[in-house]
Structure 1
Amino acid sequence: MTDTPLVSVRDLRIGAVTDSGRNVEIIRGVDFDIAPGEILALIGESGSGKTTIALSLMGHTRRGCAIEGGTIRIGEHDVTGMTESQRAKLRGTEVSYVPQSAAAAFNPSKRIMDQVVETTRIHDLMPRAKAEEHARGLFRALALPNPDTIGERYPHQVSGGQLQRLSAAMALIGDPELVIFDEPTTALDVTTQIEVLRAFRRVMAEGSMAGVYVSHDLAVVAQIADRIVVLKNGEIQEQGTTEQILNAPEHPYTKELLAAFDPVPHVAVKDVEAETETPILEVRNLYAGYGPIKDGEPLAKVMSDVNFKLYRGRNLGVIGESGSGKSTLARAVAGILPAYRGDVLLDGHTLAPSLNQRSKQELRRAQIVFQLADTALNPAHSVGSIVARPLRFYKGLRGGAADKRVIELLDMVHLPPALRHRLPSELSGGQKQRVNLARALAAEPELILCDEITSALDTVVAAAILELLKELQGELGLSYMFISHDLSTVEAVCDDVLVMYKGEVVEALPAARMSQDATHAYSRLLISSVPQLDTGWLAGLEQDPELLAAFSDR
């Protein structure tokens, strides 16, 4: 690294115009440098300004926002003083971007290779044949399978982890000096996340490229960043080397972020009296899949022979990587995806496979809360209307009685009553998920199926949701079935854990003893794949031949 920074940001100020026409400053006086070959992490909770700052390095702001002051320099370029056409020439060549959602970055109707090499055509960087050769080299460096032919596929024909690495290849094809990674592993399960992080780190080191890594996950940042900038409300709270921030933080907010990374372990609300007690939920020999049924079985069999019991007032975690069948299990229990074999029993009573065949009372007693509140909440309806709908359906409440109960339910999930007049688009991610919970609680259920409900939330907000779940359980006597790929989340909420792999339960054990007592090779792999707040953790993982063999075998 040289003494001259590649990136220099001074007194950066970015403003936005609210819906009411009021001007607000969302980024206030931000200063930092990035040396050539250095990776800088921008961390903070939702709304801290980290993505806004990262996008500004390309001279880009979201609609309604504008750079109002300060300077951004990348090499010899004054980004803030450029025209829009000059900035367009910079993007993809000097600075490039890897988005959080790789799926949104690809056109589903075009082959992958055509999209990866598009930058070279737009900027006339090299002939098509050379661009494709360069792309295949990047596919190899990013440890993608079948690097010589994967470019001929369409985006839907590769996995989420592969697509995320392909989006990195798209960003790297123009040999940029600076690469911006915008939470690129947030939506990935732990084992896939490790593969992607290893690939990113290797390629960046080999190319001596500088990087900006946007994240709310300190453990991920610890594996890839040289320095960290901690942000809150558009201002820098603290910055320093990764080691210093993780091991000797100075600012109270940094300490809060570190504390949120390690949730308080779950303490069982009640013990099981298995001899005399009927489980609130029992699953017997359950099979589920997708597609048309032929000879009694679906075209795609996803889940087979699942058995478990969940007792009243206790919580069951179901963990596994993407495609393991855990969300299929939640949908089969809820009746959204009817099981084609086996039984689901609620409080000892066998439920019909399809929710269309279940009584209103059966539907009321078992509610599901989905992963993405954005798609689960009707964008055209107010929060009050959304929460009131189950009150009408299950309780027949309308008018003032319904409005009063909506206010009570919002208070139950720690949201102010005035929020009932807003649309979902006007809420933060954490607020949307609380509305999701309030809607489920409106039915007065006994069992809530939580399908990855904290995976899209930042660490601080996710920790607050987990605390809320514990609080509601204590007040209302609820039982939770918690689907997750995050082991720390499961340990914070659950009494017992099922580990799923390729549609089957491979291990069942108490959550508190999961790390010590797991014996199945896949369970051990999952546990070993959870990033630690240790800058040497990923490098140590790469020195473990047994673990690397497990990755390649799965």
Structure 2
Amino acid sequence: MNLAEIRDLHLGAVTDSGRKVEIIKGVSLDIAPGEIVALIGESGSGKTTIALSLMGHVRQGCHFESGSVTVDGTDMVTANETARARMRGTTVAYVPQSAAAGFNPAKKLMDQVVEVAKIHSLMPLDQARAKAVDIFRALALPDPENIGDRYPHQVSGGQLQRLAAAMALIGDPKLVIFDEPTTALDVTTQIEVLRAFKSVMKNGGMAGVYVSHDLAVVAQIADRIIVLKGGEIQEQGSATQILEAAGHPYTRSLLSAFKPDARVARAQDVDQLGGIVLAADQITAGYGPVDRHGRPHKIALHQVSCNLERGRNLGVIGESGSGKSTLARCMAGLLPPVSGTVSLGGNDLAPQVQRRSKEELRRLQIVFQLADTALNPAQSIGDSIGRPLRFYHCMKGGAYDARIAELLDMVRLPGAMRHRLPGELSGGQKQRVNLARALAANPEVILCDEITSALDTVVAAAVIDLLKELQRDLNLSYVFISHDLSTVEAICDDVMVMHHGRVVETLPAAGLHQAARDPYSKLLFASVPKLDIGWLDRLTQDPDFTAAMAAR
């Protein structure tokens, strides 16, 4: 008997112009007890919409039209909201794509993890806390007895993602929905999280729905794969069948887009204008209270220096906590360094963004990693993109409207989307809005902080194409922070490896793996997921790899 069954599901929505459209078109699927089913497909294919239907939930503006969604004997479509609420967190639970957006920053982690047990009166609070510590330990979280006393901002992205899983697991659900849970994680952290998820799910006998665009991750965790496009199932089968003998042309195109050799080649035809456009010189920076010498409690960067040549791209890689984003924040003026300087076009910039001129702000833009928190949830997409047009270029009227439409088209979004709020967009769509907002300033340099991390392989490849096209047309230069090494290889000229706030080595992007000399660089490259079923299990059983992970 199946744990969950979806039968001929149709979901509809109303567009900005009032037109009714069908977004899920007759989908049927089964999930057996203890089975992990992956939903894959590009952005907008319906993956998350179908997964959320298993909780009886639809996004704002959407509605159930027909069909059934049965979970543990209950039809989530026809059940009333009280019955659905009883099942959420106990029968079916959800792990979001952006753990940061799923936590209250003002409450301690433990209080939030045990909330499900409290809401459903599952157990006494002391017992729930003890159970949470056991789950922390099973998820390989550091200091499991005390990590719950921290606040969300006091743990890394990978730790927060595992804590989001702990919140979902505390109620012993029969079915867990994982919505792109490792998308924003670096490769070494991703391995730890995937290994922890697999172990907990197997030991608990839980079923799972794993929504992802990363086929290499899916290969490590899924028993069965369902391929979606435009709200319809294109193909389904065992993980081995889909990944090794795909029958549908669309599935084969997804597999092709994933393979590095099928990605767009690294730009060699960019006009080399020469000169250093952006430089960091001996940057030391950190967070927390400062001592009497002006040094913060936590030093995140230790005398980091790098140069970006005009018309070229510098990749910055390293695991969570290595200082990549801190370096970008220092360059952008969002975090004043303790010492060292940042210069743009040979002129030193003020450490604080508030002290930089409007022209300096225009020339150097940043696209943030967390698309969910980078956009004002109460502001329309058009207003978000239009703000730089008004601020830097004093645009208004017809020119203003035309430029917003042009910018949306540049990032492959329909013009009608300008009227929507961020909550009505997918993670990948929000990330493209952030890129359009940066482009609105007509900058010389863009700091790209994991901007393709939320995009499926097809769209990510298109965005890389777009970035290179813009580079040719606008003489842009990029600092490209990413954990996706194939993406870095596709767009960057040089790659700087960081670890514990220091530069390990800088390598040419061409032949990145062969050029690496430092053991940490070699570990990073070895951790890149392979489109190979069983790769993760074999890797984590390798004593040399295990020792390198422990020593990093």
Match of 2:465 among 464, 467, 475: 467
Normalising to structure 1: TM-score of the pair? Answer: 0.88
Hey, what does 1:234 align to over in structure 2?
Answer: 231
- Name the aligned partner's letter for residue 180 of structure 2: E
Q: Which residue matches 1:224?
A: 221
Residue of structure 2 equivalent to 1:135: 132
Aligned twin of 1:527:
525
- Alignment-mate amino acid for residue 230 of structure 2: N
Distance 1:424-1:111 versus aligned 2 partners, 3 A rule: closer
Distance 2:205 2:99 in 1: 24
Q: Which runs of 5+ in 1 are unaligned?
A: none
Give the residue type in structure 1 aligned to 2:268. Answer: A
Give the match for residue 341 of structure 1.
339
The amino acid across from 1:11 in the alignment is: D
1:91 to 88, 93, 105: 88
Distance 1:446 1:129, change over 3 A: closer
| Residue 213 of structure 1 pairs with residue 210 of structure 2 | yes
Q: Which runs of 5+ in 2 are unaligned?
A: none
Q: Within 5 A, what are the aligned runs for 1:261-410?
A: 261-262=258-259, 263-269=263-269, 277-290=274-287, 294-373=292-371, 375-377=373-375, 387=385, 389-391=387-389, 393-395=391-393, 399=397
Whether the 8 Å contact between 1:289 and 1:339 is mirrored in structure 2 is: yes
Larger radius of gyration: 1
Measure the CA separation in 2 of the matches of 1:430 and 1:288.
31
What CA distance in whole angstroms lies between the structure 1 residues aligned with 2:105 and 2:6? 36
When residues 176 and 401 of structure 1 are mapped into structure 2, their CA distance, relative to the original with a 3 A threshold, is: closer
2:198 pairs, out of 197, 201, 213, with 201
**Separation in 2, partners of 1:115, 1:393:** 40
Following TM superposition, by how much is the alpha carbon of 1:97 offset from its aligned partner in structure 2, in angstroms? 2.3
User: Which structure 2 residues correspond to residues 87-166 of structure 1 after superposition, within 5 A?
Assistant: 87-166=84-163
Distance 1:280 1:157, change over 3 A: closer
Q: Residue 73 of structure 1 aligns to a residue in which SS?
A: strand
Query: Which residue of the partner structure matches residue 494 of structure 1?
Result: 492
Aligned to 1:180: 177
Aligned counterpart for 1:8 among listed residues 1, 5, 9 = 5
- Structure 1 residue 29 and structure 2 residue 26: aligned? yes
Supply the distance in 2 between the matched residues of 1:514 and 1:247 (Cα, whole angstroms). 27
Question: Does structure 1 conserve the Cα–Cα contact (< 8 Å) formed by 2:452 and 2:460?
Answer: yes
Q: 1:510 and 1:124 mapped to 2: Cα distance?
A: 57
What amino acid sits opposite 1:160 in the alignment? Answer: G
CA distance in 2, matches of 1:384, 1:87: 35
Counterpart for residue 254 of structure 1: 251
| AA aligned opposite 1:365 | R
Give the letter aligned to residue 336 of structure 1: L
Which residue, 512, 515, 522 being the options, matches 2:513?
515
Write out per-residue CA displacement over residues 139-167 of structure 1, whole angstroms, 9 at most, x where no aligned residue.
32222223344444444443332232233
Measured at CA, do residues 467 and 90 of structure 1 come closer, stay the same or move farther in structure 2, by a change above 3 Å?
A: same
Q: 1:452 to 1:107 in 2, by over 3 A?
A: closer
Amino acid of the residue matched to residue 232 of structure 1?
A: K
Contact 1:430 1:462 in 2 (8 A): no
Q: 2:156, 2:82 → 1: CA distance?
A: 35
Is residue 482 of structure 1 aligned with residue 500 of structure 2? Answer: no
Structure 2 counterpart of 1:264, which letter? V
Contact 1:57 1:79 in 2 (8 A): yes
What is the TM-score when the length of structure 2 is the normalising length? 0.88
Tell me, in whole angstroms, the C-alpha distance in 1 between the residues paired with 2:123 and 2:402: 66
C-alpha contact 2:280 2:341 (8 A) present in aligned 1? yes
CA distance in 1, matches of 2:127, 2:380: 53
- Asked if 2 retains the 8 angstrom alpha-carbon contact of 1:102 and 1:164, the reply is yes
Bigger CA drift: 199-208 or 453-462? 453-462
Work out the CA distance in 1 between the residues paired with 2:52 and 2:439: 39
Pick one of 37, 41, 44 that aligns with 1:40: 37
Query: What is the deviation of 1:410?
Result: 5.2
Q: How far, CA to CA, are the matches of 1:133 and 1:314 in structure 2?
A: 53
CA drift of 1:199 comes to: 0.6
Structure 1 CA distance for aligned equivalents of residues 52 and 516 of structure 2: 43
Amino acid at match of 2:172: D
Distance 1:238 1:537 in 2: 24
- Tell me the residue number matched to 1:55: 52
Displacement of 1:254 in angstroms is 1.5
| Residues 107 and 412 of structure 1: CA distance in aligned 2, closer, same or farther (over 3 Å) | closer
Letter in 1 for 2:477: S
The CA RMSD measured in Å over matched residues stands at 3.1
- TM-fit CA distance, 1:401: 5.3
Q: Which amino acid aligns with 1:192?
A: T
Q: CA deviation at 1:318?
A: 0.8
Taking the aligned partners of 1:529 and 1:128, their CA distance within structure 2 comes to: 39
Deviation at 1:169, TM superposition (A): 2.7
Cα separation, partners in 2 of 1:257 and 1:134, compared to 1, 3 Å: same
**Is the Cα contact below 8 Å between 1:269 and 1:314 reproduced in 2?**
no
- Aligned residue for 1:166, secondary structure, equals helix
Amino acid at match of 2:470: L
Aligned: 1:191 with 2:188 = yes
Residue 284 and residue 62 in structure 1: after superposition, are their counterparts in 2 closer, same or farther (change >3 A)? closer
CA offsets per residue over residues 249-285 of structure 1, 9 Å max, x none?
Answer: 2222212222222322313335979xxx532223222
TM-superposed CA distance for 1:120, in Å, is 3.9
The alignment partner of 1:289 has SS state of strand
Cα distance in 1, alignment partners of residues 432 and 99 from structure 2: 27
The one-letter code of the counterpart of 1:532 is: K
Displacement, 1:292? 6.1
SS of aligned partner of 1:237: strand
Q: How many residues align?
A: 548
| Alignment CA distance shift 1:220-1:396 (3 Å) | same
CA deviations on 1:501-522 (whole Å, 9 max, x unpaired) are 1111111111122211212222
- Alignment match, 2:504: 506
List per-residue Cα deviations over 1:382-412 (Å, max 9, x = no partner): 6666555545554555555555655655555
Given that residues 268 and 314 in structure 1 are in contact (C-alpha distance below 8 angstroms), is that contact kept between their aligned partners in structure 2? no
Contact 1:269 1:313 (C-alpha < 8 Å) held by counterparts: no
